[in-house]
């Protein structure tokens, strides 16, 4: 009887683990797919020659931010809309704006930051922005948007 209990327990734990991994893998698949398509579109449009990284940015419109190097060796960020419209691709040279560390230092003056959850470079109405998601000292979710070109504050969404 004891062996059966051990077997059933191990089986249930193993089954739960396998199901959890499958669910997470399936949930991530659409993001991987659209990121791969956006990377290929950035290469096909000759916006980039080499891709180094990409991620999905969700603002008023969804974009895939693709980082890489163009044919002249300049580091760029290319914003590919998730509808993969080649005419709507936006791009910025990374040397023409503030870095992630500079945006973080501008943001750190906020004062009530408990933990930074993530930073993403994205594209909004005024242009490229750094989106910083953080928890304040009251464990409330906050978003701060800092303009890529000059480090000015664009928008804040606080205490969610």
pLDDT digits (tens, 9 = 90+) for 102-129: 998 888 776 688 899 999 999 999 999 9
pTM (2 d.p.): 0.81
Mean of the per-residue pLDDT values of the chain: 91
Taking alpha carbons only, the member of 12, 121, 19 closest to residue 66 is 121
Contact between residue 62 and residue 81 where contact means Cβ atoms under 8 Å apart: yes
Contact between residue 151 and residue 134 where contact means Cβ atoms under 8 Å apart: no
Contact between residue 39 and residue 81 where contact means Cβ atoms under 8 Å apart: no
pLDDT, mean of residues 64-69? 96
């Amino acid at each position: 009887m004891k062996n059966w209990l051990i077997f059933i327990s191990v089986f249930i734990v193993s089954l739960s683990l396998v199901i959890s991994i499958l669910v997470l893998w399936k949930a991530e698949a659409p993001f991987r797919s659209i990121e791969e398509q956006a990377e290929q579109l950035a290469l096909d449009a000759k916006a980039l020659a080499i891709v180094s990284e990409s991620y999905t940015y969700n603002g008023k419109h969804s974009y895939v931010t693709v980082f890489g190097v163009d044919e002249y060796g300049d580091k760029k960020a290319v914003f590919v809309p998730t509808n993969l419209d080649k005419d709507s691709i936006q791009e910025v040279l990374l040397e023409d704006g503030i870095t992630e560390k500079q945006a973080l230092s501008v943001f750190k003056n906020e004062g009530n930051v408990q933990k930074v959850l993530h930073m993403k470079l994205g594209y909004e109405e005024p242009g490229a922005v750094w989106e910083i998601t953080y928890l304040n000292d009251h464990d409330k979710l906050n978003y701060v948007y800092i303009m890529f070109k000059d480090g000015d504050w664009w928008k804040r969404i606080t205490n969610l």
